[in-house]
């Protein structure tokens, strides 16, 4: 948006954005103000030499006011700037000291009877540059300081010996363009600072949104949309996480439970896919409620699920399998199409579970573990389903509760 004279308008910041803008610029601005105070303060004190060369009749007054008033003020300002204070307060204090320096300079020149004072007074424009370009305050403070500086200079101009209306006109011809151009520059600097701030925060917001979307995509890619359980990719990620956290020796005592809904194809064919989907959701929720958060339950596809038990839970594999079987049976989901024909009214959806204990430290070990669990599942189905079996440990018997 452009205003008259082709100047860009200041962005409209909300109260929250304004507070963030002040916080973001505080450290850099505080450092810049301190450096500016040292540079301009040194320049101001150095100008005592100009007073001596041009205005020999007020040397003592100049030294007394510059070093007796402005130097202590500058030192106090440096202390104030170094503290933990709002940056706007520091800017106001800096401008106040600059205007005090302007006032002292005017007092010195108004006290001189040298004809050179009329030439020297054109240097009043320097103070306008200080409160706008050198100090670089926010535009509203720059306007206020400019008006204050102009008021000081044009009150004291009438106290200068030998001043005429024509001289004041000539002085204004220099001062007014300086005032306007420095305010234009101050305005543009403020516009650029605020635009850079908004662009930076917009970029950060986009980065956060992109990170959120990437995280959501990663979650969706590793989640089964029907049951909201992890899918195969989610299981791979969980096993990779365990491998990062635990040593290979610790992963030796893990366990896997493969769960299969009994006669699910017949259920799907008899009741329809909508009922089949609802059955999958209910079974998944029931099993999830029976497992602690440390156990990873996933849907592998179709009616098959997988529970990965970390080392701390592997010894409870049989207990978890029993609880899942009972929880699914307790749902009492009617299943009158067992085996592809109409069954009794008391038939309900059940699950068969095969498990094994072993290592998940490597892909080869994991494959052996799943093969053993799958073999145990096959044995449960062969014995009539609706039960569970754990594959035998090396040299030991199998554990089961198959119906």
Give residue for tokens 């989901």.
333
Catalytic residue from among 91, 290, 303, 313:
303
**In this structure, what is the dihedral angle of CA atoms 218, 223, 228, 231, given to the nearest 10 degrees?**
-160
- Structure token digits, residue 382: 């062969």
Q: How far apart are CA 244 and CA 240, in angstroms?
A: 6
Residues whose CB falls within 8 Å of the CB of residue 82, separated by 6 or more in sequence, listed in order:
30, 34
pLDDT confidence of residue 399: 59
- Structure token digits, residue 141: 């403070």
Q: Could you tell me the mean pLDDT of each successive run of 10 residues in the chain, 403 residues long?
A: 59 76 79 92 92 92 95 95 91 96 96 95 96 92 97 97 96 96 91 83 85 78 91 93 92 95 93 94 96 94 94 90 96 81 68 95 95 96 94 58 55
SS3 229: coil
pLDDT confidence of residue 395: 38
Helices (H), 246-316: 264-271, 273-290
Phi and psi (nearest 5°) for 281? Answer: -65, -45
Q: Which domains does the chain have, with CATH numbers?
A: 4-206 (no CATH), 232-395 (3.30.70.270)
**Residue 204 annotated to the active site:** no
Closest C-alpha among 258, 256, 251, 257 to residue 360: 251
pLDDT confidence of residue 230: 94
Do residues 171 and 109 touch, judged by C-beta distance below 8 A? no
């Amino acid at each position: 948006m452009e205003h008259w004279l082709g100047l860009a308008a200041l962005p409209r910041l909300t109260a929250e954005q304004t507070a963030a803008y002040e916080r973001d610029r505080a450290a850099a601005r505080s450092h810049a103000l301190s450096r500016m105070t040292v540079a301009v303060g040194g320049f101001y004190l150095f100008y005592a030499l100009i007073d001596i060369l041009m205005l020999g009749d007020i040397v003592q007054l100049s030294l007394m006011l510059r070093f007796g008033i402005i130097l202590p003020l500058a030192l106090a300002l440096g202390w104030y700037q170094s503290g933990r204070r709002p940056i706007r307060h520091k800017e106001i204090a800096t401008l106040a000291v600059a205007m005090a320096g302007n006032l002292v300079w005017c007092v010195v020149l108004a006290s001189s009877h040298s004809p050179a004072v009329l030439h020297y007074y054109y240097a009043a424009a320097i103070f306008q540059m200080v409160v706008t370009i050198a100090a670089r305050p926010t535009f509203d403070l720059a306007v206020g300081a400019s008006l204050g500086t102009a008021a000081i200079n044009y009150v004291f101009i009438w106290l200068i010996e030998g001043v005429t209306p024509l001289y004041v006109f000539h002085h204004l011809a220099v001062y007014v363009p300086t005032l306007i151009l420095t305010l234009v520059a101050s305005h543009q600097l403020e516009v650029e600072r605020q635009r850079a701030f908004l662009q930076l925060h917009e970029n950060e917001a986009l980065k956060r949104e992109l990170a959120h979307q990437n995280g959501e995509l990663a979650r969706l890619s590793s989640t089964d949309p029907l049951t909201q359980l992890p899918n195969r990719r989610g299981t791979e990620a969980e096993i990779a996480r365990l491998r990062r956290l635990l040593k290979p020796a610790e992963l030796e005592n893990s366990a896997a439970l493969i769960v299969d809904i009994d006669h699910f194809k017949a259920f799907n064919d008899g009741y329809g896919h909508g009922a089949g989907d609802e059955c999958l959701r209910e079974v998944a929720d029931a099993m999830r409620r029976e497992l602690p958060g440390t156990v990873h339950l996933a849907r592998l596809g179709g009616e098959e699920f997988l529970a990965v038990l970390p080392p701390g839970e592997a010894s409870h594999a049989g207990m978890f399998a029993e609880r899942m079987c009972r929880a699914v049976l307790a749902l009492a989901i009617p299943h009158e199409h067992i085996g592809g024909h109409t069954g009794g009214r008391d038939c309900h959806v059940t699950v068969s579970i095969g498990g094994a204990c072993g290592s998940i430290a490597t892909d080869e070990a994991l494959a052996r573990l799943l093969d053993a669990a799958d073999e145990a599942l096959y044995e449960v189905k062969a014995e009539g389903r609706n039960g569970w079996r754990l594959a035998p440990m090396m040299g030991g018997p199998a554990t089961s509760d198959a119906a």
